[in-house]
Amino acid sequence: MKNLLNQKEILRYSRHLLLPQVGLKGQEKLKSAGVLIVGAGGLGSPVSLYLTAAGVGRIGIIDYDDVEDSNLQRQVIHSTSRIGTPKVESAKAYLSDLNPYVQINSVNSVLSAKNIENIAEEYQIIVDGSDNFSTRYLLNDYCFFHKKPYIYGSVFRFEGQVSVFDARYGPCYRCVFPNPPLPGVVPDCGEGGVFGVLPGTIGTFQATEVIKLILGLETNPYGKLHLYDALDLSIQTIQLKKNPQCKICGENPAITTLEEMAYSCGFYGAEDLLPADWNWSVMELAQKQKDGYPLRLIDVRDPVEREVVILEGSENIPYEGITTELFKNETLPIVFYCRNGIRSARVVKKLRDDGIDKAFNLAGGTNAWAREINSALKQY
């Protein structure tokens, strides 16, 4: 049999070749494998870095964002010099330099039910580096129909989750999370923050699971949800079971084709949560303040965020502490704001649904105020 590795590759992977569980045959399995990574951000960075370093032969990366300053605190395959570059181009440049013996295929696009069949066809394992629910359900459903493992990961603040879903051998993602939350209900790391090293830990766990699957190092990685807490370095493992009522892999499935489902695979802004007349622009608020218009301005951010920037004249009632009771007798317009208008939009929606018709959202939040009204204030 022809050796798949040349002399330089054998030297590169020599520490793998010394492991009885890997050896030459195992390294050749890695070289013959194909893995698709969805997302080139916080999770996609360490996943792609370690799979490339390990010698996985074909790695696909799909993302549609450009590199931004705020990415660099945790997205370690990007750099300051690549700000403004599509993430997939930045990732491909980094990974190709790291290991020229790995084929890196980049796709600068939004993943959808329309294109996933063509994009994912050549890969045997799918890794989730996304940060939105619609993508997770799309990946789970695609993997179910095509009998592929789905390596799930998520991060928020100091906590992360990892699991290997494959309905052939255990539960799928829908077994555990039957329905996605409504748009905007669950904050992402852009609103709640994320500890910079956490995606590195969770992404490395995901890469570990991929490599073990390729090498066959674990006979049953399925049906386990690993919960990691970076504050005390603890890991809890929850045993998961298949759900007989699961919409896709249960006894009477309601989903029988990928085309039946609607997957937006995007991010929700204030415009997705509220009617236009429930929002005030920063220009509108600034003019009303200048005219002496009576109103209440309420900051729903955590107090720590007010150390970065505060809008003059605002009160601080953190998001978690806001209730309808606080405002049921209010006669003035109440304008809520946060960093970018998402958390405050959720507050306004809840209050409006409860009959508080004087609640308004400051579209764009403090970042829009700093861009359009007062450039001396900090954006973050």
Question: Which residues have a catalytic role annotated?
Answer: 189, 338
Rounded to an integer, what distance in angstroms lies between the CA atom of residue 354 and that of residue 323?
Answer: 10
Element (H, E) at 14: helix 14-17
What pairs with residue 364 in β-bridges? Answer: none
Rounded to an integer, what distance in angstroms lies between the CA atom of residue 363 and that of residue 340?
Answer: 7
Structural contact between residues 210 and 125, judged by C-beta atoms closer than 8 angstroms = yes
Rounded to an integer, what distance in angstroms lies between the CA atom of residue 273 and that of residue 349?
Answer: 7
Rounded to an integer, what distance in angstroms lies between the CA atom of residue 236 and that of residue 37?
Answer: 25
Rg (CA), the chain: 23
Return the exposure string of 2-31: e unless at least 16 CB atoms fall within 10 Å of the residue's CB, then b: eeebeeebeebbeebbeeeebeeebbbbbb
The candidate with the shortest Cα–Cα distance to 297, out of 361, 376, 380, 346, is 361
Per-residue tokens: 81 = 């010099």
